Amino acid sequence: MIAINALGTFSLMVGLLTLTPGLDTALVLRTAALGHRRRAWGVVLGIQSGTLIWGVLTSLGVTALLTASHLAYAILRWAGAAYLVWMGGRLLWATWRTSGDEGATGSGAEAAVGAGASNTLRGGWRQGIATNLLNPKMGAFYVAVLPQFLPAHASHLAAGVLLTGVHIVLAVLWACALIALARVLRDRLQRPSMRRLLDRITGTVIAAFGLRLALGE
């Protein structure tokens, strides 16, 4: 259905995209570093659920309509930007607000990213899928790349799901490596000063992605 060389090229492209440090990496690594393995896997599942939805919608031609509509794209872009800036800003504010209280750092920062559900799979899944679906650049990437690998005389939906599945498998493997790394470093990262530093880095990354999205960069 899909030529082996085309499958290999697509795998290389999405593999490099997955390995590029970004929002997904920051979220998974930060959550796992806090010792919340269940929530970290929820974030991974949420992100990949969003990837699957983008892949299916692209295969059906829906995301092409989204990117063609300036209004729809702008609405999604501003909604995603607002969500990311809000999440990153709350995380940063919590670390500065509790910087004088070593014991409160964890609870304040966790509440800032919606961890009221703390170490729950569902809470992580909601955070992951919201972050992914509110990122129109994911849709734009799939619109630009996926159709090039869809065979002309075959089901676009089946081929699109297969290619998206390759992306998801590579992303999950990378998430396994991140979670394993966080587990190795967990004792060191559990120190209040290190947790504040990690949260400030993560909050800055998330807020910066939101600002870039708002500016259309």
**pLDDT of 29-76, one tens digit each?**
888 888 788 999 999 999 999 999 999 998 888 877 766 777 777 787
The whole-number pLDDT of residue 117 equals 45
Q: What is the sign, positive or negative, of the torsion defined by CA atoms of 98, 37, 119, 115?
A: positive
The residue-averaged pLDDT of 177-194 equals 80
135 to 23, 50, 94, 186, 189: CA distances (angstroms): 10, 10, 24, 29, 29
The whole-number pLDDT of residue 210 equals 80
Greater confidence (71 vs 180) lies with 180
Average pLDDT, the chain: 81
Does residue 105 register a pLDDT over 50? no
Does residue 177 register a pLDDT over 90? yes
The residue-averaged pLDDT of 146-155 equals 81
3-state helix/strand/coil string of 49-64: HHHHHHHHHHHCCHHH
The whole-number pLDDT of residue 147 equals 83
Greater confidence (144 vs 43) lies with 43
Predicted confidence (pLDDT) per residue in 72-101, tens digit: 777 877 887 888 888 888 888 877 776 555
H helices within the chain, ranges in order? Answer: 4-19, 23-33, 37-59, 62-68, 70-97, 105-112, 121-133, 136-145, 156-184, 186-189, 192-215
The residue-averaged pLDDT of 180-189 equals 80
**What is the Cα–Cα distance from 168 to 191, expressed in whole angstroms?**
33
End-to-end Cα, the chain, rounded Å: 36
The whole-number pLDDT of residue 1 equals 63
pLDDT band at 115 (very low <50, low <70, confident <90, very high): very low
Predicted confidence (pLDDT) per residue in 196-207, tens digit: 787 888 888 888
Does residue 153 register a pLDDT over 50? yes
pLDDT band at 113 (very low <50, low <70, confident <90, very high): low
